[in-house]
């Protein structure tokens, strides 16, 4: 889901938390959001491709842009 779509869910109180996790690409990071009904929603670009980040700062900025004030980071 795109940041815009995730923002809508956030403001409808449908998202519980933002999580940054290591990606399958070496040294990369992905951003996921826990949905209130269970499961996770992946941050994607407008074409539906998983967003991959090379550093935690950029990944965190994307997660915070959805509306959360903090982000959980899963260690490798």
Q: Is pLDDT above 80 for 76?
A: no
pTM: 0.90
The answer to whether the beta carbons of residues 35 and 8 sit under 8 Å apart is: no
25 compared with 20, residue with greater pLDDT: 20
Residue-range definition of the domain harbouring residue 8? 3-73
Q: What percent of the chain has pLDDT over 90?
A: 91
Q: Mean pLDDT, the chain, as a whole number?
A: 94
Structural domain count, the chain: 1
What average pLDDT score do residues 2-22 get?
Answer: 97
Burial of residue 33, with CB atoms counted within 10 A of its CB: 0-12 exposed, 13-18 middle, 19 or more buried: buried
């Amino acid at each position: 889901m795109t940041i815009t779509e995730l923002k809508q869910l956030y403001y409808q109180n449908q998202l519980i938390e933002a999580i940054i996790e290591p990606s399958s690409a070496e040294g990369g990071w992905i951003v996921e959001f826990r949905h209130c009904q269970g499961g996770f929603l992946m941050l994607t670009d407008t074409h539906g491709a998983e967003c991959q980040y090379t550093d935690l700062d950029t990944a965190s900025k994307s997660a915070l842009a959805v509306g959360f004030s903090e982000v959980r980071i899963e260690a490798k």
